[in-house]
Amino acid sequence: MACANTTVAFNETPEVVECRGERFRLFLDAATIQKRVAELGRQISRDYADRQPILIGVLNGAFMFLADLMRYLTIDCEVDFLKLSSYGAAKVSSGQVYELKKIDADIQGRHVLVVEDIVDTGLSMQFILERLQAYEPASVATVTLLHKAEATQVDVPLDYVGFQIPNKFVIGYGLDYGQLARNLNAIYILEE
């Protein structure tokens, strides 16, 4: 099944998808993802029981994970977004992080949860954490659905991690390949 020019309905999870001429194999199915996101939601709700955090989603990749995670939070919370770009259309990080949109919310004195789809080299998360400190939040914690520990080059604190994954390129559930494949309901890994 191709994701470049074929519609994959939200309830379909093929074993293999083709995107921009590359084959990807099913790695984390929708049920597995939802179960883990629910666990993270429960854990964050417990940890923030006496606080009202603001979730900062990192566009574009984190939009789907953030939307699901918020629905598993049983505490009052707010949301805002910033937008970065580092991967471009490639399968490896450019090593350069660009800020494409700043946050709008005033986070001074607030409890911030940075929500990422993936921490790979760690350069995006490092850039975000440095930027956010300037706004003097009361606390900052990080949430990432995926972590490629083998690829992480910098020391960034990760407070909530959904899945540790191998150092391979993945797509789906918000993660793109040249802007495509974000709409897949599961996560697929590059076949080499």
Ligand X SMILES: O=P(O)(O)OC[C@H]1O[C@H](OP(=O)(O)OP(=O)(O)O)[C@H](O)[C@@H]1O
Ligand Y SMILES: Nc1nc2[nH]cnc2c(=O)[nH]1
Asked if 19 interacts with ligand X (CB under 6 A), we say no
Interior/surface letters 35-70, b for 16+ CB within 10 angstroms, e for the rest:
eebeebbeebeeebeeeebbbbbbbbbbbbbbebbb
Q: What are residue 114's DSSP bridge partners?
A: 56, 142
Q: From the list 32, 45, 93, 183, which residue makes contact with ligand X (rule: CB under 6 A)?
A: 93
Which of 77, 97, 118, 125 is close enough to bind ligand Y by CB under 6 A?
Answer: 118
Residue 171 binding target from Mg ion, ligand Y, ligand X, none, CB below 5 to 8 Å by type: ligand Y
Binding partner at 119 among ligand X, Mg ion, ligand Y, none, C-beta below 5 to 8 Å by kind: ligand X
**Partner that binds at residue 169, options Mg ion, ligand Y, ligand X, none, CB closer than 5 to 8 Å by kind:** ligand Y
Residue pair 17/181 in contact by the 8 Å Cβ criterion? yes
The tokens describing 26, both together, are 């099913």
* Identity of the residue, 77 or 171, whose beta carbon is nearer to ligand X in the bound complex: 171
- 120 has catalytic annotation: yes
> Which residue spans within 34-186 are E strands per DSSP?
54-59, 78-85, 98-101, 111-119, 139-147, 160-164, 170-171
Tell which positions 72-101 bind ligand Y, by CB under 6 A: 87
Binding track over 44-73 against ligand X, x by CB under 6 A? --------------x-xx------------
Structure tokens at 64: 């789907």
Minimum CB distance to ligand Y, residue 89 (Å): 10
DSSP string, 3-65: SSSS---TT---SEEEETTEEEEEEE-HHHHHHHHHHHHHHHHHHTTT---EEEEEETTTHHH
Tell me: does residue 61 bind Mg ion (CB under 5 A).
Answer: yes
Q: Which stretch binds ligand X (CB under 6 A): 16-24, 27-35, 36-44, 110-118?
A: 110-118
- Residue numbers annotated as active site: 120
Which residue ranges make up the site for ligand Y (CB under 6 A)?
A: 87, 118, 120, 169-171, 175-177
